[in-house]
Amino acid sequence: MKSTVDADRLGVFKTYKLYVGGKFPRSESGRVYEVTDSKGKWLANAPLSSRKDARDAVVAARKAFGAWSGATAYNRGQVLYRVAEMLEGRRDQFVREVADAEGLSKSKAAAVVDAAIDRWVWYAGWTDKIAQVVGGANPVAGPFFNLSTPEPTGVVAVLAPQESSFLGLVSVIAPAIATGNTVVVVASEGAPLPALSLAEVLATSDVPGGVVNILSGRTAEIAAPLASHQDVNAIDLAGADEDLAKELETAAADNLKRVLRPQPVDFTAAPGTGRLTAFLETKTVWHPTGSLGASGSAY
């Protein structure tokens, strides 16, 4: 009996939506586009974001920046670790989506998802250590304590890698938010579904709304207003081809955005701290040692 019920049952399709400010809106434009697997078979419709979606996402990211950058590094680490915990629970779903999106076998897709989960844990550990590595006390010729500390750049627009739809995505989001930036992510144009599903994980992982905003659609269309946006402080061009990257870098120069140029990356290798430090600003304070120096103290 059970089998006949199953055979008659109509499957429930998932409506993939954007992730902006902790909510799941459709594109403001109402547009969608067809997403296919690596063999051209239809998988789902994904929202085709417009420049207004990009603008809304920047507003959400800016709003979230104060609290997220002000949270303790330890707290951010806990939240990032929580993302890994939630992902672990939905591992099978992501293995399926990554296999469909990238045309991988089940076992290869599983390896990719495991690496992505581990990457969250890796960056979770970095949140309260990066300041010691790239900051510190500087020796100066005068009676001063001179201390440098890294601070997050601000709102970072991230063009996620086009080929590595999930591991690549995590590898560009996690380092940016680990240090306290908030991000507007443009998902892989051809394979946006793992990114849109990741949004559901982020929404249930204590990541405050607006810290990560995920848009799907044509990378060139969404990236242009982000690159010229006066309230975006940095842009990661990982998912842009050479021509687009050049164009975007020119637009980004207008308000002196920090730009991370596209470069060949093996996302399965240990990532290093390059992406962590790409979106940091160094703040240096001079603090007089006061009377200690004047009194001839050896201190």
Binding site for other proteins (CB under 8 A): 55, 58, 62, 225, 228-232, 254
CA distances (Å), origin 62, targets 106, 153, 157, 176, 183: 39, 12, 11, 14, 9
Task: Give the nearer residue to other proteins in terms of CB position, either 119 or 229.
Answer: 229
Task: Give the nearer residue to other proteins in terms of CB position, either 131 or 259.
Answer: 259
| CA triple 24-25-26, angle to 5 deg | 130
Find the shortest distance in angstroms from Cβ 240 to other proteins: 18
Find the shortest distance in angstroms from Cβ 181 to other proteins: 15
Find the shortest distance in angstroms from Cβ 251 to other proteins: 8
CA Rg value for the chain: 21
Find the shortest distance in angstroms from Cβ 226 to other proteins: 9
Angstrom distance (rounded) from CA 268 to CA 205: 24
Percent helix, strand, coil in the chain, to 5, is: 45, 20, 35
Find the shortest distance in angstroms from Cβ 64 to other proteins: 14
Angstrom distance (rounded) from CA 226 to CA 108: 34
DSSP state of 25: P
Helix (H, G, I), strand (E, B) or coil at 149: strand
Task: Give the nearer residue to other proteins in terms of CB position, either 153 or 171.
Answer: 153
